Every structure is written in C-alpha cells, then in structure tokens.
Amino acid sequence: MNIALVTCESLAQYAAPNIDDEDSLLTRHLRAQGHHVEPRIWSNPAVDWHAYDVVLLKSPWDYFDRVQEFYAWLDRMEGEGIRMLNPVSTVRWNADKQYLLDMERQGVRIVPTHWLPCGTQFQAQVVFAALGTDRLVVKPAVSGGAKNTFDLNLAEAERRSAELTELLREEDFLAQPFLPQIQTEGEWSLVYLGGEYSHCVLKTPKSGDFRVQHYLGGGIEPREAPAHLRRTADDIVQRFAADCLYARVDGVDANGELLLMELELIEPFLYLDTAEGSFARYETKLKASVK
C-alpha cells in the first residue's frame, strides 16, 4: 500500500528518553513488509492526499491547539472521499470530550464530570459541591498532553478562579474528582487493533505528580490486562470503536470496575514496542481495514 502517515509540524515536545519513537518504529516495520510509507503533516495544504491508498492518523499532536483548522481539514478529507483511519466521523466525535458524556448516557461508567461551558464564570464552591470532592482536576474539553490541566483543592481553586474564568472565555472545560488510584496504583491503558485486544500497559506518574504522560516523567510497565477491566474495555471498543484500526481505553480500577478516563481514537501512543507481535498485528489489521 501507499500510506500517508499523518503527523504534525514538531514532535519534539513529546520526546522522552524513556521511550522509543513509535512513528519511526512503525514506519520501519511497514516498509519492511513492502509498503510505501511517507510522513505527512496534516496541516500542510500542499499535500496531495489523493496520492495515497490510505491516510493513517498517527501523531497529529497539535490538533487541539488549532482545532477549528483540524475540523476544517477533516471536512475536506470527508468531502473529497479520502480513505482515513480512523474514520473521519469517529475522529470528529472523539476530538471533544463531550463524547464522554455521550458514552455515560449510553451506560458507560466514566469519571464523574462537571461541564464548564465556554463564556461562564468558574465558581469553585459550586463545582466542588457538584462533584462532592475535596480535590479536583480541571482541563479543556479539547486537549491533550496535560495542556492547561489543573490539580486543585478548594483553596487553590478559589485563588485561581479569575485565571480559570479567563480560560473559559476561550473554550469549554470540564472538572472531575481527583482519582487517588492514579498515584497509588496507576492508570491502565488497554490497546486494541482492528477491534481486538492487543496489549496493555500500566502508567504511573513520577513522585509528587498526577500526570502519567511519559514525556512528563511518567513510568510505563507492560502488564496483562486484569480480566475484570478487560471485559469492560472489550465492550466499550465493540460499542464505540468497532470500525477503528486502533483504540486505546484509559481508566482506573475503582473497586473492581473500570472507570473510564478516555477512549483515545485520534492520535494515541500505542506502546507497540512493549508487546511482542504488536507491529505485525497492526499491519495485519491495517491491510484488513482497507480491503
């Protein structure tokens, strides 16, 4: 196949010494199987997307900084009939964290979420009372990489209310209770390829932090997915991502149940180098997806 591997202008801010460059590893593997693979920046207007058999989203990690431009690009790809993986409609749905509320309405257990609409005032007492917590996390509805993400107790939230209100002038945010399991146990990431379970890692923050991203010092440990978490993740993928080449289910173990934090369907790191055979499974599912 002739493949466009979609990336962004700079991956440097996500580089970390404790993890390999997944884009390069995947490209090397696909080329070794006889595919023609070219990295292409999604925001480059000069790219001829029609020149490729498939446009494969991999690392457009700056989309949340220019989301309206990203939406316009998705519209163009859809309008011109470009074959994209994952599908454009799924990517558009997954870009805004309102999808979590959509999943909750359909019976998925998510982290309790209080929506903070654009243009409203951040009222610390109201948010803490609504969530019934003494510590919360506030983050944008369209975000990635822990951008503009705050870990706050009530006093800190009241002190920073003006700052948060200013941010709310630009975009929607959401607030969720802080999950102590992230620091005590970690965050589970279950990876699916072609709708089928592939592998799993447990991500842990560095000491004193709550963010598990590897480029922020978080740790990554390959683990077999606990059966009770796997059952729930399997159901989520079958219901919401069955037509996707790749999916990553992120969550915590809350009293023996998976509490969903994110269903990552746009540009997730897939930790392919942590599991034997994962690159081969990726390529097999890719070929099946474009038949």
118 and 169 Cβ atoms separated by less than 8 Å: yes
Per DSSP, the three-state class of 27 is helix
Q: Where are the alpha helices (DSSP H) in 49-136?
A: 67-79, 88-94, 98-105, 124-131
Closest C-alpha to 110, from 211, 248, 263, 261: 261
Query: Counting Cβ atoms within 10 Å, is residue 155 exposed (0-12), middle (13-18) or buried (19+)?
Result: exposed
Cα separation, 116 vs 123, whole angstroms: 10
CB-based contacts of 5: which residues, under 8 Å, 6+ apart? Answer: 23, 26, 27, 37, 38, 39, 40, 56, 58
Rounded average pLDDT over 123-147:
91
More confident residue, 249 or 149: 249
> How does residue 18 score in pLDDT terms, banded at 50, 70 and 90?
very low
Residue-range domain boundaries for the chain: 2-94, 114-177, 181-289
CB-based contacts of 161: which residues, under 8 Å, 6+ apart? Answer: 121, 122, 123, 124
* pLDDT for the residue numbered 16: 53
Q: Which CATH class is domain 114-177?
A: alpha beta
Give per-residue pLDDT as tens, 208-248. Answer: 555 445 555 457 899 999 999 999 999 999 999 999 999 99
Check pLDDT > 80 for residue 147: no
Check pLDDT > 80 for residue 206: no
How high is the mean pLDDT of the chain?
92
* pLDDT for the residue numbered 212: 45
Check pLDDT > 50 for residue 185: yes
Q: What percent of the chain has pLDDT over 70?
A: 91
Amino acid present at 255: N
Q: Which CATH class is domain 181-289?
A: alpha beta
Backbone angles phi, psi at 37, to 5 degrees: -125, 130
> How does residue 19 score in pLDDT terms, banded at 50, 70 and 90?
very low
What CATH number labels 2-94? 3.40.50.20
* pLDDT for the residue numbered 143: 84
Q: What percent of the chain has pLDDT over 90?
A: 83
* pLDDT for the residue numbered 219: 75
Check pLDDT > 50 for residue 88: yes
Give per-residue pLDDT as tens, 46-87. Answer: 999 999 999 999 999 999 989 999 999 999 999 999 999 999
* pLDDT for the residue numbered 183: 78
